[in-house]
Amino acid sequence: MIFGIMASNNDVKKLLRELDVMNSVIARLAPEEEVVIHEFASLCLANMSVEYTSKVQIFEQGGLEPLIRLLSSPDPDVKKNSIECIYNLAQDFQCRATLQELNAIPPILDLLKSEYPIIQLLALKTLGVITNDKESRAMLRENQGVDQLIKILETKELNDLHIEALSVVANCIEDMDTMVLIQQTGGLKKLLSFAENSTIPEIQKNAARAIAKAAYDPENRKLFHELEVEKCLVNLLGSENDGTKIAASQAISAMCENSGTKEFFNNQGISQLIQLLKSDSEEVREAAALALANLTTSNPANAKAAAEGDGIDALINTLSSKRDGAIANAATVLTNMAMQEPLRLGIQSHDVMHALLSPLQSANTIVQSKAALAVAATACDAEARTELRNAGGLEPLVELLRSKNEEVRRNASWAVMVCAGDEPMAVELCRLGALDILEEINVSVSRKNKFSEAAYNKLLNNYLSLKYSQTGYLSSSNIISDGFYDYGRINPGTKLLPLKDLCLQEPSDQRAILLINSRSSDVSPPPSTEDKSSDVGYGRSISSSSSLRRASKEKTNFHFSAGFGSPTEEKSEPTSGRNTAVSKSTTKEKGSRKGRGKKEEEKVKEEEEVAVAPKLTGEGSLEKEWFPPSDPDFSVYVYEVTKSILPITNIKEQIEVLAKYVAEKMGGKIPKEKLQDFSWELHISELKFQLKSNVVPIGLIKKGIFYHRALLFKALADKIGVGCSLVRGEYGRAWNEVKLMNESRKGVMGALPPLEVYIVDLMFHPGSLIKLRSREADHYRFL
């Protein structure tokens, strides 16, 4: 008695453990001992079992078996102390497993019939713990435990037991057979009644928790929907108890599998869930986000309702939650919203890319996957992609491509595919190694997926300079735009330097890098740069191109506006940056011969060394934004072919006229026997020397060989919508292939004639078309 009573004191507990009396106390539970000995020995164990160390001692010294036997004692105090001790021990999973082996469920269920509420309550609490295990739920069902639980719930006089009884029922519903039994006995309606009518938060919470678990079954969802459970759950969202809010949110999540439930929440409930996203409780925010994720999936109306309910701001704030579940669910809702363009624009205006940066760097694969999917959904326009890039989001996104998780890898590939929608982003992604990683993934049969293949192709198709260098082929759908450059062939795995870096390099003995750029720079260089531009070759090239243009005008009778008539007139054209500067410098060059003094010329000469880099790159200073070198001659080419060739209605004639035009600009027709005497190498070397760079704008080249002409033809053809491909061959060869209908061959059943592929001759007989599979074609390609 003394030990039993004093064991409630913590210091006494400690001393009793040190004295190692547990074995002696357990021995006093033997059947031959008197009831009063059982009472205080079990009281001592009940008090000692509160602490983990004592639990271990009781369990290891075989205390469970005599305690279970004492549950059938005629003395209520012995029963109470024994079940209390068992309840404490059952918190440990090893003890729960042993309770199943010792068949503890039947004597515990018998305690539910006790006339003492405390014994009934402790029995229900114990059942609430041990029914977390599947085997215990089966034992409960087999011993008619469900019937007893339902009877307790139906008895108003036992309302003090309803909280714990509902908790046990909620656990049992996870077992399919038990759930069917509860359904047959009308237990589901009883659960809904408790959730609707009770004013006790714990009862509401447990009832909602049971509804949530039951709602994972389609038949139960249908029944709950018919009973209008949604109204009850919306009311529970307004509870002051966080546990009830969480349980109601989880029940809504489960009910969302029912389409009727989603429709119900179109009009009410979503605004309450959004308010819960602002809760101080992380658990409440996570549950609310899960409910919203399920409600908005495949339901545009709910996604719109969430956005209109001021949900975007709350969701983006949830992305910084401490709980991974809340972050993943919030990202899912944002993804669902972004399917609608007006909502996507609203999300983008809330700085979503910065908010997604942390989830992209999460260690949780589910968060990584959902964040990557959110990027794929929201980065659909150039402005959003630029924001992601400026926020530093591309680096972690590319890193996710290396993930060992299949879903993360797939969604990251999807996001990279979306982000590679324009050339600057594609270039940056390639610089970060995305192309190399995707290439490695696509080699692996087990790791590749449709999105990784699509992302790889999208990167190359939006970074045509790299694609042409790596593959040596551009199709008719690969439209060359301003800023394209032909570096030459590179080996797989070799990095292609950006155009800016190549422009800043000193000239070398490597092959000239051909630049396509019909745009003028946007920043005008300082006066010294203008003068130097003409000195290093741009001014002279304009003068020579102007004379060529005049000659071309006389020969071909092209009609173009006064803006292209002469260098002076070209200056008046509404352009800016390098183009303007170059035009001005040409005028200045002419004027300097008449009136510019020697001092000014010497000053320009002194500044030459300092000004070279800014002149070539289009920068006034190294700190300003960089622009590629402009190419006024190519701009004129574009203008002329647009005016003269675009109006031609026959595609074949367009190709022939364009081929002759390109050949004329690149040195004219070259007979095969005189090909070796065509000194194009010296001309290119002079240009590189004059420009002090390996990068040569295509318009400056007046003596071009196969690959110069093929590139110019492709660039001009793309400007006027003539479909052609560009193919790189060996030994400096390159050619263009076009598809034309063979009028001599009729189509089947009145269909159009078949398409045949031709090579466009730009060298020997400019304008002639050579059938692809012919000896002439082989000779042209030098196979």
pLDDT at 150: 84
Q: Which amino acid is at 374?
A: A
For residue 131, pLDDT over 50 is answered with yes
**741-772 confidence digits (pLDDT tens):** 876 665 555 566 678 899 999 998 999 998 88
Query: Is the CB of residue 705 less than 8 Å from the CB of residue 741?
Result: no
Q: Which residue in 543, 634, 640 sits closest to 582, CA to CA?
A: 543
| Collapsed DSSP state (helix, strand, coil) of residue 724 | coil
Taking the CB of residue 432, how many other CB atoms lie within 10 A of it? 17
Which pLDDT does position 782 carry in this prediction?
63
Per-residue model confidence as pLDDT tens digits over 212-242: 888 888 888 888 888 888 888 999 998 889 9
Q: Name 493's Cβ contacts closer than 8 Å, sequence gap at least 6.
A: 436
First to last CA, the chain: 106
The mean pLDDT of 57-83, rounded to a whole number, is 92
| Buried-exposed string 398-425: b where 16+ CB fall within 10 A, e elsewhere | bbbbebeeebbbbbbbbbbbbbbbebeb
Phi-psi region of 287 (alpha: psi -120 to 50; beta: other; left: phi over 0): alpha
How open is the CA angle 395-398-401, to the nearest 5 degrees?
150
Kindly report the CA angle at 298 between 297 and 304, in degrees rounded to 5?
A: 75
CA 511 to chain centre: 39
Does 572 have pLDDT greater than 80? no
CA 354 to chain centre: 13
Strands (E), 353-460: none
CA-based diameter of the chain, in Å?
Answer: 131
Q: Rounded CA gap, 185 and 195, in Å?
A: 18
pLDDT at 335 over 70: yes
Average pLDDT over the chain, rounded to an integer: 83
Backbone angles phi, psi at 745, to 5 degrees: -110, 125
Can you tell me the distance from the alpha carbon of 113 to that of 110, in angstroms, rounded to the nearest whole number? 6
pLDDT in the model for residue 297: 93
Beta strands 513-516 and 695-697: pairing type?
parallel
pLDDT above 70 (res 729) = yes
Split at pLDDT 50, 70, 90, the class of 261 is confident
Q: Concatenated DSSP letters for 469-535? A: HHHSEE-TTS---TTEEE-----TTPPPPPHHHHHHSPP-SSPPEEEE--SPPSSPPPHHHHHHHHH
What confidence tens digit (pLDDT) does each residue in 667-686 have?
Answer: 999 888 888 888 888 999 99
Q: Give the count of beta carbons closer than 10 Å to the beta carbon of residue 369.
A: 25
Residue 466 vs residue 492, higher pLDDT: 466
**pLDDT (0 to 100) of residue 626:** 81
**Residue 727 dihedral angles phi and psi, to the nearest 5°:** -125, 130
Q: What is the pLDDT of residue 41?
A: 93
> Which residue did the predictor score with more confidence, 612 or 740?
740
| CA distances from residue 79 to 70, 234, 237, 452 in whole angstroms, order as listed | 6, 42, 40, 65
For 681-722, how does the pLDDT look when each residue is reduced to its tens digit (9 = 90+)?
Answer: 899 999 999 999 999 999 999 999 999 999 999 999 999 999
Residue pLDDT, tens place only, 558-571 = 333 333 333 333 33
What pLDDT does residue 546 have? 37
pLDDT of residue 699: 94
**pLDDT tens across 490-522, in order?**
887 778 888 989 998 998 888 899 999 998 755
List % helix, strand, coil for the chain (3-state, nearest 5): 65, 5, 30
What is the C-alpha separation between 724 and 734, in angstroms, rounded? Answer: 13
Give the span between the Cα atoms of 20 and 37, in whole angstroms: 19
Query: Is residue 3 a contact partner of residue 43, using CB atoms and an 8 Å limit?
Result: no
Q: What are the DSSP calls for 148-207, one per residue?
A: HHHHHHH-GGGGGGHHHHHHHHHHHTTSHHHHHHHHHTTHHHHHHHHHHH---HHHHHHH
In which element (H, E) is residue 695 found? strand 695-697
Mean pLDDT of 259-264: 87
What is the arithmetic mean of pLDDT over 435-447? 91
Q: Which residue has the higher pLDDT, 596 or 445?
A: 445
Taking only the tens place, the pLDDT of each residue in 584-639 is: 333 333 333 334 344 444 443 444 433 443 434 444 444 567 888 999 999 999 99
Per-residue pLDDT, averaged over 333-348, amounts to: 94
* Closest listed residue to residue 253, CA positions, set 273, 239, 235: 273
Q: Which residues pair with 734 in a beta bridge?
A: 728
CA dist 217 and 190 (Å) reads 17
**How many C-beta atoms lie closer than 10 Å to residue 436's C-beta?**
15
In this structure, is the dihedral angle defined by the CA atoms of residues 384, 389, 392 and 394, taken in order, positive or negative? Answer: positive
pLDDT at 743: 65
Question: Could you read off the pLDDT of 390-420 as tens digits, one per residue?
Answer: 999 999 999 999 999 999 999 999 999 999 9
Residue 178 C-beta-side C-alpha neighbours within 13 Å: 28
